[in-house]
Amino acid sequence: MENNATIQNLLQALEHKYSQTGQSLAANLEGLLHLDYLKYWDYIHVDTLLTLQKPKTHFPDEMVFIIYHQITELYFKLILWEIEQIASWQEISTPEYLEKIQRINRYIKALVNSFEIMSVGMQAEQFKKFRMALLPASGFQSAQFRLIEIASTDFVNLLSADFRAKITPSTTTAEMYEHIYWKKGATEAETGKKTITLQHFEEKYSTTFLEWAYKFRDKNLYQQFKKISPQDELYKPICEALREMDYWFNVEWALAHLKSAVRYLREKGKPIDATGGTNWTKYLPPNFQKIIFFPSLWSETEKTEWGRKKVEEMLG
Residues near ligand HEM (CB under 6 A) are 68-69, 72, 118, 138-140, 142, 145, 182, 257, 260-261, 264-265, 274-278, 280, 283-284
Round to whole Å and give the CA distance between 244 and 235.
14
118 or 151: CB nearest ligand HEM: 118
139 or 237: CB nearest ligand HEM: 139
Residue 190 CB, shortest distance to ligand HEM, in Å, is 18
Residue 73 CB, shortest distance to ligand HEM, in Å, is 6
Distance set, CA 72 to CA 6, 69, 175, 223 (Å): 44, 5, 31, 26
147 or 261: CB nearest ligand HEM: 261
Rg (CA), the chain: 24
Residue 307, by phi and psi: left (phi above 0), alpha (psi -120 to 50) or beta?
A: left
Is 259 within 8 Å of 115 (Cβ atoms)?
yes
Residue whose C-beta lies closest to ligand HEM: 139
SS3 265: coil
Is 21 within 8 Å of 31 (Cβ atoms)?
no
10 or 196: CB nearest ligand HEM: 196
Helix, strand, coil % over all residues of the chain, rounded to 5: 65, 5, 30
Residue 293 CB, shortest distance to ligand HEM, in Å, is 13
Residue 120 CB, shortest distance to ligand HEM, in Å, is 10
Residue 292, beta-bridge partner list: none
Residue 152 CB, shortest distance to ligand HEM, in Å, is 13
277 or 307: CB nearest ligand HEM: 277
Residue 240 CB, shortest distance to ligand HEM, in Å, is 24
* Count of CA atoms in the C-beta half-sphere (13 A) of 155: 22
Is 101 within 8 Å of 238 (Cβ atoms)?
yes
Is 262 within 8 Å of 272 (Cβ atoms)?
no
14 or 134: CB nearest ligand HEM: 134
224 or 260: CB nearest ligand HEM: 260
Residue 105 CB, shortest distance to ligand HEM, in Å, is 18
